Structure 1
Amino acid sequence: MAAAALRSLYFWITFILSFNTLALAQDQNQFIYNGFLEAKLHLGGNATIHPDGLLQLTNTSERQQGYAFHPSPIKFNTSSSQSLLFSTYFVFAMVPGSLTAGGHGMTFVISPSMDFSEATATSYLGLFNTSNNGLPTNHVLAIELDTVESPEFKDIDDNHVGIDVNDLISNDSAPATYFSEEEGTNKSLKLASGNLTQVWIDYNGAENVLNVTLAPISDPKPSRPLLSMVIDLSPIILESVYVGFTASTGTITNNHFVLGWSFNKSGKADSIEVSKLPSLPPPPPLSPLSIPPEKGNQKLEPTIIVSVAALVVVLITIGGAVYIVRKKKYEEVYEDWEREYSPHRFSYKTLYKATRDFKDNGLIGEGGFGKVYRGVLPSSDQIAVKRVSHDSGEQTMKQFVAEIVSMGRLRHRNLVQLLGYCRRRGELLLVYDFMPNGSLDKVLYSNIRPNLNWFQRIRILRGVASGLLYLHEDWEQVVLHRDIKPGNILLDAGLNGKLGDFGLARLYDHGSNPETTILAGTPTHMAPELLRTGKATTSTDVFAFGAVMLELASGRKPKEPGQVDLVNWVIDCWNRGAILEASDPRLEGLCVEEQMELVLKLGLFCSHPNPATRPSMRQVMQYLDGDAKFPDISPNSNLLDAFRSSYNEASNTIMAFSSLIGGSSSSHTMSTMDSILVVGR
């Protein structure tokens, strides 16, 4: 009787514990799986659960995908970024299908749907396909564990972790490493090693920070994440979503396994009990190497042996020489401090091939600091590559690369996207999006007919003004461009203006003062206070933008031999009560006169020699959009006379200084430095 009672008590305790575990797994806020034996996962593709609870997403079949999702939707409050929070922790293993390599990889994914039946295998990781990759309507966040370098998605190597938002081109990525607390340094971690690996993914909406951390199964969670990205996920993650995994194979394959998984949408994910995890299946036995059978006691003639040996030596010598030449041809400068910037770095070999050896027939521009070449990446994306000579110390270069990477995070439709960089010997290569219609000056001052119409010009002005407002006020730091001119305004396929060439740009925190005292810019677009202080400000950018406004409205350069300079000419027209006479004659009868008058007057006051008189870029946008009325200034006013006098004095000083330091052309970028990379940048 006592034994029966004990057995009954044991049964009910076991049942209650099992019920509580199941309830935890079905909790809308969190769940935990120490193995997946009792799990009711939604499976698709090649995914299966072994009898011991091991989740296998793919096997060694080629070009296959698998996916597995927690069956219940997760309900998030996405009304504000502050309320969005989640944490997940899982243990996985990738067992390669060959002795040399495995692929393609797997993802942890948050998605509004569990249906990935239309997803593609290989480099698409079972996540997207050619038609939906990159669509903002996907509302998908994925953390990729990628074991194949796919150039079409700008992968950094064949063993990396990436943060993907709606697109397999990662927003941020890094080679797979983990921080060793014992050694105090990052150590490499091979994803497709067959070893158990831990992953922690944590998002804090209050700080808009997404952290991804890796470690071997034997190590605790490192104090430093592998990836830490500032991102607001509230527009990406919908209120009702599913969480799970996808994986895929290509011609090279992996067995993708998940052994345990926990998730919490309102706090830290629970720890997995490693001792309860299922075991990986034993690896298949390795086949012995094929050895040709013996054919008797045959002996080679000594002369044949000597000839074969000599041939082998010659081939090795030739191969070694070819290898050294090729290596020298693509040799780059790569230092330890650049590891954190590696996702933004292009290989020289990639750029060399993209530009077809930097041949002159691919040259699309040439300025004071280097040549610009058109290129096509293996993904068919078109790029512009600017080659800049430099001779800088490590600290200066480190600072400059940090600024390049920071500016690579700028996102605005009227800014040319800076994609990354490469360093090779004495040169730096900057990689930008390609603009098919070239620079504004080439179109504005060419004899091509038809020229830009008025509506295209006003759209270009509004676009560049919007981009400048973003740089000055709306980004996380203040960005000073320092060289705004038509040559640095690029036109896309729709003739929309995009501000480009950030080679002289400077960043500083909002509320602080810019520290640079290096004089740089183009004399015809350079604010006069730069000569006195050497300090660029948002107001000096406004001055240069004012010159651009006058150029677009008049079709004339700021200074041309044998002509009154542009500012004086516009003031003359204004004083006569006929400011529209300053407009481009090619636009006669084809422009909105009120808009033309506004642009000419606003351009003058942006170009005012007194920085306190210039409007801010926010005010410029308000004037252009009609949200504010431009002050009514009558012709022949003292204000215009004072403007002319102080402008001429400042203009003469700038041009004299330009000649003194060897400025060969007023339209070219001038600097007191030999290159854009010197101490003090």
Structure 2
Amino acid sequence: MSYMATKRCSSPPFFVYVCLVLFLGPNLAALCTAQVQFSYSGFRATDVTLDGVAAVRQDRLIQLTNTSDVKGYAFHPAPLRFRRSPNGTVQSFSVSFVFGIQSDFPDVCVDGMSFFVAPKKSFPGAFANHFLGLFNDQTDGSPDNHIFAVELDTFMNSELKDINNNHVGIDINSLRSVDATMAGFYDDENGSFTNLTLSSGQPMQMWVDYDAESAQVKSTMAPLGVDKPRRLLLSSVNNTNLSDVLEEPSYVGFSGASGPLTTLFYVLGWSFAMDGPAPAINITNLPMLPQGHPKARSLVLEIALPIATAAFIAAVGTAVVLLVRRWLRYAELREDWEVEFGPHRFSYKDLYHATEGFKKKHLLGAGGFGEVYKGVLQASKLEVAVKKVSHESRQGMKEFITEVVSIGRLRHRNLVQLLGYCRRKGELILVYDYMQNGSLDKYLHCEEEDKQSTTLLDWTQRYGIIRGIACALFYLHEKWEKIVIHRDIKASNVLLDHEMNGRLGDFGLARLYDHGTDLQTTHVVGTMGYLAPELLRTGKSSPLTDVFAFGTFLLEVTCGQRPVKQHGQDQQIMLVDWVLEHWHSGSLTQTVDRRLQGLYDNDQANMVLKLGLLCLHPLPTSRPTMRQVMQYLDGDMPLPELEPTRLNFNMVSMMRNEGFSSAVMSYPDLTTSIGTFSGLSGGR
């Protein structure tokens, strides 16, 4: 390890020093500190400043991440001045670093790391995942960031216009790269391009140079031990004048961020120079990346142990029986068209071991949809929820798997991540992130189901969950590349993570039952109390039917009551009608969950209840969009002033006015038809 910082100032005679002070004034200090360079081959804890989960390991590696959904940072301790004078232009500078990326799965890696120049040593509010710990969905793209970065991205995120899942990008104040290219290098001898897989687990070297004269960023890379290629990998076509970006002084460093799967980002060596080439990194002194890959070791054991066991079996007949049993246990249904979905497919064997053979002790829930189990993937130790769904035919299966893979690309902090799928004969298996605090409904209705052991959610937590689910629906309806209609929004489909943040689950699952189905059928798709009138009449879903269900969800969370409550043997009370009655009588806040004992924001609760009623308007065109709902919840737009008489609708009379038959309006019949579906999309 070496470190060098030079100040190109000699010890002049006294009169020369006086002249410099008089004529150069404050610029003298800037000139003396302009030439800065350093070089590290391995690191000590005192060499860098760390933040997040980053750490300097005993083997002298900087490890930026250590598990899933985390971020970490490593900074050069002292700020650097990139200008010779306060109003001058940013000088040329040069960076070189050696890095390595390892994933639990050789073919799947999320999300990436970056070298950056930033005005501060902290990134408050920045998200992990695809924002690489630098920005969030609000700050991304803001000129106030004053951040330059070079990203090494291992996940293709369509929201950020990524070119693929293995690229190098130049970023200015945003993760939408101004220029990007596939990771690799050009051979100096024959000029051929060689692709480099960033997540290969092998060390690689990266060179980044900023040319102040042309205002261009130039970059190249190569496997460790290969000299810096003469031909550039990436030279910014767009103007990247960092004089318009960087503040004075600024910090240089690295960030790493992982998504739902554990990905480890390492820095082995680093050199930097201002206004000159970065010093060569002494690769002979570099630390070694951790050897071996958990998945690879697991595969070796899985292959070696059966072979070693078979060697001790004398009877060929016994060996054949064992092999046949093994094949039947892990047999999967695979077709040629599934090859394109690659890493989104899990092996049944991995899921079988993750759930200990789908033992009942791991069962989280069951219903018409099938069963949901908690599992732990052996290779990555990642906790997952494994959902088994029956299917009887191949009709529409390819289209559905395409949708599953597409939905798996949804990335939002308030959505339960769909990781992938597996297929067996007559059975489809979906794999989700596991939410350790379970579904929201057990907290809202704990007095009915478990009065002693369930934690009561306070108003701040409830409002945070409401806003989170609204944000997720806004993303599904308007911010993703396609429109996604959830179709079964309810408390049991809202799951709580370790911080009690609400995440919407089961999005898209209902589509399995829609392929090849007549959308005009009278079989009701949804859950009683959440069904929009037009959905009951036509069977067709839209974003506004989601808004209707979200309105019921608002009342349910605020009141702590189920959407439909049995009263006696033959009578059912609709929650919306009960809330409307209190609004008519001027006692709307009396509907707020009594268990809160008055500890809530009165104006906020009133607004949420009225917003819920507005979302439940029988006319679809009178309901707000989720964009408007977010504006109401964030206080960016006042809620429309509505008199109770203008929302004086009773569910039964409302359906009659909409032209529903008596069979559809019959609550027992409706409950029966819904029961077959509500199990399909239960709350796990």
SS of residue in 1 equivalent to 2:541:
coil
Question: How much has 1:427 moved relative to structure 2?
Answer: 1.1
Question: How much has 1:343 moved relative to structure 2?
Answer: 1.3
- Residue equivalent to 2:71: 135
Question: How much has 1:517 moved relative to structure 2?
Answer: 6.2
Contact 2:418 2:433 in 1 (8 A): yes
Name the CA distance, whole Å, in 1 between partners of 2:520 and 2:489: 18
SS of residue in 1 equivalent to 2:429:
strand
- Residue equivalent to 2:31: none
- What pairs with 1:656-671 in structure 2 (closer than 5 Å)? 656=666, 659=669, 662-663=672-673, 665=675, 668=678
- Residue equivalent to 1:348: 348
Name the CA distance, whole Å, in 2 between partners of 1:419 and 1:485: 22
Name the CA distance, whole Å, in 2 between partners of 1:134 and 1:445: 33
Measured at CA, do residues 209 and 264 of structure 1 come closer, stay the same or move farther in structure 2, by a change above 3 Å? closer
- Residue equivalent to 1:487: 492
- Residue equivalent to 2:600: 591
Contact 1:364 1:373 in 2 (8 A): yes
SS of residue in 1 equivalent to 2:673:
coil
Identity rate of aligned residues, in percent?
40
SS of residue in 1 equivalent to 2:235:
coil
Question: How much has 1:535 moved relative to structure 2?
Answer: 2.1
Measured at CA, do residues 595 and 203 of structure 1 come closer, stay the same or move farther in structure 2, by a change above 3 Å? closer
Name the CA distance, whole Å, in 2 between partners of 1:521 and 1:219: 62
One-letter amino acid of the structure 2 residue matched with residue 569 of structure 1: W
CA deviations 1:231-264 (Å, max 9, x no partner) are xxxxxx99779743456xxxxxxxx878967324
- Residue equivalent to 2:408: 408
Name the CA distance, whole Å, in 2 between partners of 1:144 and 1:321: 48
CA deviations 1:152-189 (Å, max 9, x no partner) are x34156xx99985469995269xxxxxxxxxxxxxxxx
TM-score, with structure 2 as normaliser: 0.57
One-letter amino acid of the structure 1 residue matched with residue 654 of structure 2: S
Specify every segment of 5 or more residues in structure 2 that has no aligned partner in the other structure, as ranges. Answer: 1-38, 43-53, 76-94, 115-131, 133-151, 158-165, 199-207, 211-216, 238-310, 513-517
SS of residue in 1 equivalent to 2:581:
helix
Is 2:537 aligned against 1:532?
Answer: yes
Measured at CA, do residues 601 and 43 of structure 1 come closer, stay the same or move farther in structure 2, by a change above 3 Å? closer
One-letter amino acid of the structure 2 residue matched with residue 326 of structure 1: R
Question: How much has 1:573 moved relative to structure 2?
Answer: 0.9
- Residue equivalent to 2:377: 377
Q: Equivalent of 2:480, from 472, 475, 480?
A: 475
Question: How much has 1:633 moved relative to structure 2?
Answer: 2.6
- Residue equivalent to 1:640: 648
CA deviations 1:166-221 (Å, max 9, x no partner) are 69995269xxxxxxxxxxxxxxxxxxxxxxxxx99899978987546999999998
Measured at CA, do residues 208 and 372 of structure 1 come closer, stay the same or move farther in structure 2, by a change above 3 Å? farther
- What pairs with 1:16-415 in structure 2 (closer than 5 Å)? 130=66, 135=71, 137=73, 153-156=103-106, 164-165=112-113, 170-171=154-155, 211=182, 243-245=220-222, 262-266=231-235, 314-378=314-378, 379-393=380-394, 396-415=396-415
- Residue equivalent to 2:590: 581
CA deviations 1:604-635 (Å, max 9, x no partner) are 11111110111111111111122221222334
Contact 2:407 2:508 in 1 (8 A): no
**Number of residues of Structure 1 aligned to a counterpart in Structure 2:** 462
Contact 2:370 2:680 in 1 (8 A): no
Question: How much has 1:640 moved relative to structure 2?
Answer: 2.0
CA deviations 1:46-68 (Å, max 9, x no partner) are xxxxxxxxxxxxxxxxxxxxxxx
Specify every segment of 5 or more residues in structure 1 that has no aligned partner in the other structure, as ranges. Answer: 1-41, 46-115, 174-198, 228-236, 248-255, 269-310, 508-514, 676-681
TM-score, with structure 1 as normaliser: 0.57
Name the CA distance, whole Å, in 2 between partners of 1:320 and 1:432: 36
Contact 1:142 1:164 in 2 (8 A): no
SS of residue in 1 equivalent to 2:446:
coil
RMSD: 4.9
CA deviations 1:383-420 (Å, max 9, x no partner) are 111111112326x2221111111111111111111111
Instruction: Using the TM superposition, name which of 161-170 and 568-577 deviates more.
Output: 161-170
Measured at CA, do residues 451 and 550 of structure 1 come closer, stay the same or move farther in structure 2, by a change above 3 Å? same
Name the CA distance, whole Å, in 2 between partners of 1:215 and 1:335: 38
Name the CA distance, whole Å, in 1 between partners of 2:646 and 2:236: 67
Question: How much has 1:644 moved relative to structure 2?
Answer: 7.9
Name the CA distance, whole Å, in 2 between partners of 1:142 and 1:397: 47
SS of residue in 2 equivalent to 1:659:
helix
Contact 1:489 1:498 in 2 (8 A): yes
Is 2:579 aligned against 1:570?
Answer: yes
Name the CA distance, whole Å, in 1 between partners of 2:665 and 2:470: 26
- Residue equivalent to 2:48: none
